[in-house]
Chains A and B, each alone.
Chain A
Amino acid sequence: MDSHEYYEELILKDGDLSGEERKNLKAHLEECEKCQKLEEQWKSCLNLLSKAPMVEPKADITGKWEQTLQVRTFEKEMKNQNRQIIGTIILITVLSIFSCTVLLSPEFLIPSTIQASQILLLLAGLANQFRTILSMLRLPVLIFSLGGILAVICFVVINRIGINNEENSNEGVEQS
C-alpha cells in the first residue's frame, strides 16, 4: 500500500478517526495537494448527500397495490389452472400413446392372444367337468327335488285344513 492510498482511506473512512490517524492525516494534508483536493471534494459530496431528501411517490401506492394484488392473484390462479389442464392433457396423451404402442405391437399382441385363448380353454374344461358331475347325479337330484316339492304341497294343504277348522269353531262360539 503506498502512502497516498493509506491517507485516501483515512479521508474516505466512514466514522471518526482515532487521535493518531487524525494527527497523521493532518500532517500529510499540509504537504500533499492531491490528498487535500480529495478531502475537499469528498466533503462537498458528503454535504450534498446529507442534504438529499427521501423522495416520496406521487401516485397512490397502496391503492395501486390492492389492484395489483387482485389482478396478479387472478392471473396466477389462471396460470396454475392452465398448467394443471395442460399437464392432464399431456399425461393422457402420453398414456394413450404408450398403451397403443404396447397393446398393438406384434410382440405383445400374439402372446396376449395365446394367453387369452388358454384361459378360455381352461374355463371350457371346468364347465365340461361340472356338466359331467351333474349328469352323474341326475337321478338322485330328480328324486330329491320331487320329494321336496311333494313335502311342501302336503305342508300347505295340512296347514290350510287346520285354519278352516279353527274359523268354524270360532263362528259356533259367536252364534251360541
Chain B
Amino acid sequence: MNNISTDILEKVKEGDADAFTDIVDAYQNAIYNLCYRMLYNRTEAEDATQETFWKAWTNFSKYDFNRSFSTWILSIAAHYCIDLQRKKKVPEIEIDETMEEIIPDPIPHPEQEAIRNEEEQQIQDMLNSLNETDRAAIVLRYWYDFSDREIAESLSVSESAVKSRLFRARKQLAQYWDGQTQFNQG
C-alpha cells in the first residue's frame, strides 16, 4: 500500500480530480482486497471499491490530515461492506461458482493451483463464519497489519472492544477449523 504525499491530499481537498486518480491508482488493490475478503464476490468487490472511492471523494472535506489516510479510506470500505452484508446477509455461494471465481486464467502448475484454490476456499469459508465486524477486524489485522488502535478507528469502536472482538474471532476461527477438519476426515 503506497503512501500518499500531503501535496496530493491537499490538491484533492481543493477539488483536483486528477490528484484523486493518483489515490485510486495507489489504493485500488488494498481496497479491492478488503472488499473481496468481506464480500467474497469479484463483481461486488469491484462495485464496492468504486463506491468507496466515490464516498472518499465526496466526503474528502471531512478528512482530518492528522489521521492516517490508509486508516481513513479503509475505514470507509470496511463500513460500506459491513452495511452491505447486514442489508442482504449474503446467501451461500455454490462451490462451482466459488471455484470459478478463484481459478485464474493461466494454470502453469495445476496441482499447485489446486492446493492454492483449496486454501483460498478454506480462508474464505473461515472468514464467512464470522460476523461482519469481526471479519473486518481480522482482515485489517492479518492483511493490513493494523494495530488495535487503527482497527478501532477504522471500525468506530473502542480499543477494548477490538481486543475482545479479535479474541472471540480467533477462537471462532480455531473452532471452525476443527469442525472443517473433522468434516473432511469424515
CA–CA, A2 and B33, complex, Å: 39
CA–CA, A41 and B20, complex, Å: 43
B24 contacts chain A at the CB level, 8 A cutoff: yes
B135 contacts chain A at the CB level, 8 A cutoff: no
Chain B residues near A58 (CB-CB < 8 A): 42
Chain A residues near B21 (CB-CB < 8 A): 62, 65-66
Q: How does the 8 Å CB contact mask read for B10-54 relative to A, with 1 for contact and 0 for none?
A: 000000010011001100111011001100001001100110011
Q: Which of these, B53, B138, B175, B177, contacts A68 with CB under 8 Å?
A: B53
* Min CB–CB distance A37 → chain B (angstroms): 7
Question: Does A61 lie within 8 Å of B170, measured CB to CB?
Answer: no
CA–CA, A50 and B141, complex, Å: 11
Chain B residues near A49 (CB-CB < 8 A): 123, 138, 142
A55 contacts chain B at the CB level, 8 A cutoff: yes
Q: Interface size (B, Cβ < 8 Å)?
A: 39
Question: Does B46 lie within 8 Å of A59, measured CB to CB?
Answer: yes
A-B contact pairs, 18 of them (CB 8 A): A12-B167, A12-B174, A38-B171, A41-B174, A41-B178, A41-B181, A42-B174, A42-B177, A45-B174, A52-B120, A52-B143, A55-B33, A56-B32, A57-B29, A62-B28, A68-B50, A69-B54, A72-B54
Chain A residues near B123 (CB-CB < 8 A): 48-49, 52
CA–CA, A41 and B180, complex, Å: 11
B8 contacts chain A at the CB level, 8 A cutoff: no
CA–CA, A8 and B20, complex, Å: 45
CA–CA, A120 and B24, complex, Å: 74
Chain B residues near A9 (CB-CB < 8 A): 167
- Which 9 A-B residue pairs are closest in the complex by CB-CB distance? A41-B174, A61-B28, A57-B32, A42-B174, A12-B170, A54-B33, A49-B142, A55-B36, A65-B24
- Known A-B contacts A48-B126, A49-B123, A62-B28; A57 and B37 likewise in contact (beta carbons under 8 Å): no
* Min CB–CB distance A43 → chain B (angstroms): 9
Q: Interface size (A, Cβ < 8 Å)?
A: 29
Chain A residues near B138 (CB-CB < 8 A): 49
Task: Please report B residues at the A interface, Cβ cutoff 8 Å.
Answer: 17, 20-21, 24-25, 28-30, 32-33, 36-37, 42, 45-46, 49-50, 53-54, 57, 119-120, 122-123, 126, 138, 141-143, 166-167, 170-171, 173-175, 177-178, 181
Question: Does B17 lie within 8 Å of A12, measured CB to CB?
Answer: no
Question: Which A-chain residue is minimally distant from B25 (CB atoms)?
Answer: A62
Question: Does A61 lie within 8 Å of B126, measured CB to CB?
Answer: no
A51 contacts chain B at the CB level, 8 A cutoff: yes
Chain A residues near B181 (CB-CB < 8 A): 41
Which of A44, A59, A65 has the most CB atoms of chain B within a 10 A radius of its CB? A65
A14 contacts chain B at the CB level, 8 A cutoff: yes
* Min CB–CB distance A69 → chain B (angstroms): 6
Question: Does B53 lie within 8 Å of A38, measured CB to CB?
Answer: no
